[in-house]
Amino acid sequence: MKRLYTVSKKSQNFEKYLDGTFSATDVALVLETHNLNSLEESITFEIKNRDQIVKPNWLQILLTLSKPYKFIYLFFPVLFILLDFLIHGVEFDQLTTVLSVISAILLFLGINLMSDFRDHLQGFDRVNENHKSKPIFLGWVRAIRVKQSALCLIFLSFLFSIPVLIAFPRLLFIVVITGTIIFYSLLRRKKSYRDHLFGDVFWAILVGPLLSTGMQVAFSGIVQLKYFLFGCVWGILIFFRIQISNFEHILSSSLAKVKNLVNYFGFEHSKKFLFSIWTLFLLSFVFFQAAFHHWLIWMGTVLIIFFMGYKQFRLLYKLSSPSGSEMKIVNEGLKVLWASMIMLWLVQIVFEYLMIISGANFI
């Protein structure tokens, strides 16, 4: 017989059942949520003993929690900067490079875990079908353990950054800004980035200009406008990917009262919003490439991605409903467009590097 328990948001035990601290031996699985994100919110849990939870091995759980597919946000800028350093003969410190990359990986993992914890507490997982396969929701791991792991990873990230800060003190300014954004968007007790209309901008800034500027300083101690501009272009592309996800979940996130620009604009206007971001990215990409690279290197990328984008946005504008199979097809197409842009950009970078080391003069 199932053990069911309904708890109101007004109860002192509400958060304890969500984060898993209500019992050392039992696990509370969410069955139903009513009046989400309101004072009248209530949740019905199924209480199970920990031994009753069927879960995979810890390796699979760790892989699911870490979201390896998102590491492109981090590794692409690192690869771009390192290859660009090699192309232009910029000297970089190998030790600080390794330490800063490790620090960035730990920080990225910590942010992802803390984001999962916040999504679980705020109810985004409970209304988003895609998120119902997350380890926290399935009871594979307690939410409080995810939070503790996130804080530990963020702390370790700071420890690994200390030698780099000693080597390049100017990096402290970027670390302070990064820490402030992370605290404001994730670490405050009652609020997260999903409570802010422009919350997604935080992520675009973190993995865009802050990451690229921080990495160039951590690698070599230098600050060049080129890498800041690269970070801005990359940040816009990441922001576009986040808005694709927001558009895909517009119904569930509206139900969860998540604040983001897609929900603010609504279904019809958010299609124009997505097109505006893509247009801004293309313009900034062309400007960046024209300023720092030979046109033979990047013109093919622009032409290919322009025609791919034209096809996808025609389908987007024909979309009449935020539900159904057509919505899924359009969203998958936009994701392919985003991934294709990254792949073409990567091919361009590697091609330029190979041409330079073979003796061609594209600088």
d(CA 272, CA 39): 34
The mean-pLDDT minimum among 20-29, 37-46, 104-113 falls in: 37-46
pLDDT score recorded for residue 153: 95
Q: What is the pLDDT of residues 238-275, one digit of tens each?
A: 999 999 999 988 887 777 677 889 988 988 999 999 99
SS3 197: coil
d(CA 307, CA 316): 14
Look at the block and give the residue holding tokens 């895609």: 130
Q: What is the pLDDT of residues 299-340, one digit of tens each?
A: 888 899 999 999 999 999 998 888 888 898 999 999 999 999
pLDDT score recorded for residue 344: 92
The mean-pLDDT minimum among 32-46, 144-158, 215-229 falls in: 32-46
DSSP state for residue 193 in the 8-state scheme: G
* Predicted TM-score of the model (pTM): 0.89
At residue 41, φ and ψ (nearest 5 deg) are -60, 140
At residue 152, φ and ψ (nearest 5 deg) are -65, -45
Q: Distance from first CA to last CA of the chain, Å, rounded? A: 72
Which residue, 27, 38, 33, is CA-closest to 7? 33
Percentage of the chain modeled with pLDDT above 70: 94
Look at the block and give the residue holding tokens 């019992």: 23
Contacts of 171 (CB under 8 A, 6+ apart): 161, 164, 165, 214, 217, 218
At residue 46, φ and ψ (nearest 5 deg) are -100, 120
